[in-house]
Amino acid sequence: MKRQQYFSKNAIIFLLSVLWIVTSCTTIPQKKYALDPSSKEFLSKTRYTITKQEKHIFLSTPPEKRQEFVDEFWKKRDPDPSTEINEFKEEYFRRVEISNALFKEGIALGWLQDRGRIYIILGPPDNRLVNPGFKDFHYENWYYEPNYVIVFEDHDLNGEYQITLEGEFTLVNILKDPQQSWRVSKVDDKKIVFAFELKILQESDGQQKIQMKIPFNNIWMSDEGDKLETTLTVTAEIEDATTEERIWDTQKDFVLSLTEMELESMVGKSYSVEIPLSLPEGSYAMTILLENSTGGEAVRRHMTFKI
């Protein structure tokens, strides 16, 4: 294994370029509020699962509303909302405790070290090779199926194992691999960006309409000169719940184009999308696909309803 203790100049340039590209796509510009002790603790403890967009929203949320954010934050990650236990949250903090117990060497707590970080994000490796003294420094190889290897090195022999640059790139590849999603204690922005409310409303004239309420904070927008813009595309299909026959479908684009000042006034509000319907009495199944032109994010929702 090639010894690699320092970032090369080219690697630093590459990483800075990636950072510039990521930050070129923006969300709602908002006022940042000071962090009280409980808010600081929340951000610290969730550092390995909170996304950049969620952190941005949290910092822009007034202190009196932050508990609502925290509740929603864990709710989004609950794999089975029908149970009282949030399995994701339980497993996340279990990995924190195990990391503290396993990685006691070094100055920082185990969960704050590189080995702890990887353990929390990916869980225990499928195989762990510890080889102190084989070289002139200590190292560990962590193997994740099918063929991923993450290497940690302790060059100063003080218990401060650091992940190699190759290891960081391996982590990126694991996080991008859909077959590894079951093991990752992390949520991608694209999986949460369109958390929205979906309803079928009955009108006074006997007609109906689909109503979608999407929090402005969850809508990614791109910088287009003096405006922030995106297009939301809604594709809807409705089937008869008994015969499974498709009886209605539509696709509509909704263009958002607002100034920064206009968006700032939308903090805490939702963008409402309404699509008219005309269905007779019966039982129905509906599929909604919501797509954002900025970044290509998409989410699909299903619901059944009666008229």
User: What burial class does residue 54 get, using C-beta atoms within 10 Å of its C-beta: 0-12 exposed, 13-18 middle, 19+ buried?
Assistant: buried
For residue 251, give the CATH number of its domain.
2.60.40.10
Q: Strand 221-224 and strand 227-240: pairing? A: antiparallel
Average pLDDT of the segment spanning 83-105: 92
List Cα–Cα distances, 14 to 11, 141, 160, 166, 172, in angstroms.
5, 25, 26, 14, 14
Residues 87 and 230 in one domain: no
> Which parts of the chain are beta strand (E)?
25-26, 127-130, 138-144, 148-154, 162-163, 197-202, 208-215, 221-224, 227-240, 246-258, 270-277, 283-292, 298-306
Residues 155 and 206 in one domain: no
Say if 43 falls within a structural domain. Answer: yes
Say if 211 falls within a structural domain. Answer: yes
Residues 250 and 184 in one domain: no
Residues 161 and 219 in one domain: no
Residues 284 and 151 in one domain: no
Mutual orientation of helices 66-77 and 87-102 as an angle, nearest 10°?
90
Average pLDDT of the segment spanning 76-90: 87
Say if 4 falls within a structural domain. Answer: no
Q: Please tell me the predicted confidence (pLDDT) of residue 295.
A: 61
Helix (H) or strand (E) holding 138: strand 138-144
Q: Which of 142, 168, 189 is the last residue of a domain?
A: 189
Residues 172 and 302 in one domain: no
**Single-letter amino acid code for the residue at 167:** G
Q: Which of 189, 207, 223 is the last residue of a domain?
A: 189
Asked whether 154 and 162 are in contact (CB, 8 A), the reply is yes
Q: Please tell me the predicted confidence (pLDDT) of residue 276.
A: 94
Average pLDDT of the segment spanning 64-82: 87
Helix (H) or strand (E) holding 300: strand 298-306
Q: How many CA atoms lie within 13 A of 52 on its CB side?
A: 9
Of the candidates 111, 94, 128, 124, which has an alpha carbon nearest to the alpha carbon of residue 48?
111
Say if 1 falls within a structural domain. Answer: no
Query: Is the overall model pTM greater than 0.95, yes or no?
Result: no
Which of 14-23, 171-180, 260-269, 288-297 is predicted least confidently?
A: 14-23
Q: Residue 68 pLDDT > 80, yes or no?
A: yes
CA end-to-end distance (rounded Å), the chain: 66
Residues 149 and 241 in one domain: no
Within 10 Å of residue 270's Cβ, how many Cβ atoms? 16
Residues 267 and 211 in one domain: yes
Structural domain span for residue 244: 193-306
Residues 90 and 128 in one domain: yes
Q: Please tell me the predicted confidence (pLDDT) of residue 247.
A: 94
Chain centroid to CA 164: 25
Q: Which of 156, 189, 222 is the last residue of a domain?
A: 189
Q: Residue 4 pLDDT > 50, yes or no?
A: no
Residues 164 and 254 in one domain: no
d(C-alpha 37, C-alpha 27), whole Å = 26
Radius of gyration of the CA atoms of the chain, in A: 24
Asked whether 289 and 235 are in contact (CB, 8 A), the reply is yes
Q: Residue 22 pLDDT > 70, yes or no?
A: no
Say if 13 falls within a structural domain. Answer: yes
Say if 55 falls within a structural domain. Answer: yes
Within 10 Å of residue 133's Cβ, how many Cβ atoms? 9
Share of the chain above pLDDT 90, in %: 40
Q: Residue 26 pLDDT > 70, yes or no?
A: no
Question: Looking up tokens 């699962």, which residue turns up?
Answer: 49
List Cα–Cα distances, 2 to 6, 165, 177, in angstroms.
12, 11, 25
pLDDT tens profile 159-215: 889 999 999 999 988 888 878 877 777 655 444 445 678 899 999 888 999 999 888
Q: Looking only at Cα atoms, what is the longest distance across the chain?
A: 81
Query: What is the count of structural domains for the chain?
Result: 2
pLDDT tens profile 206-243: 899 999 988 887 777 777 778 888 899 999 999 998 88
